[in-house]
Amino acid sequence: MSRDDEEEDDARFKVVINREEQYSIWPAGCGSPAGWRDVDVAGAKAECLAYNEQHRTDLRPPSLRGLANGDA
């Protein structure tokens, strides 16, 4: 295992979401990027990615889901 791999294993991330309900991860020690808010989930990269996979069931943003359902 390389030093970079070890550092990534030790790195902590947090889950963030934007108004279009798109999930991402961000370094836990940094403020969230503009337009994104914390989901209050933090941990290893793999844990955060697994959370995103579980909760991102529809990849379409709400604005497109509404159009597809006839909500205008």
pLDDT at residue 70 tops 80: no
CATH number given to 3-68? 3.90.820.10
Rounded to an integer, the average pLDDT of 4-9 is 58
> For the segment 37-68, what is each residue's pLDDT rounded down to a tens digit?
999 999 999 999 999 999 987 778 787 877 76
pLDDT at residue 24 tops 80: yes
pLDDT at residue 31 tops 80: yes
Cα–Cα distance, 38 to 58 (Å, whole number):
19
Mean residue pLDDT across the chain:
85
Q: Which residues face 23 on adjacent strands?
A: 17
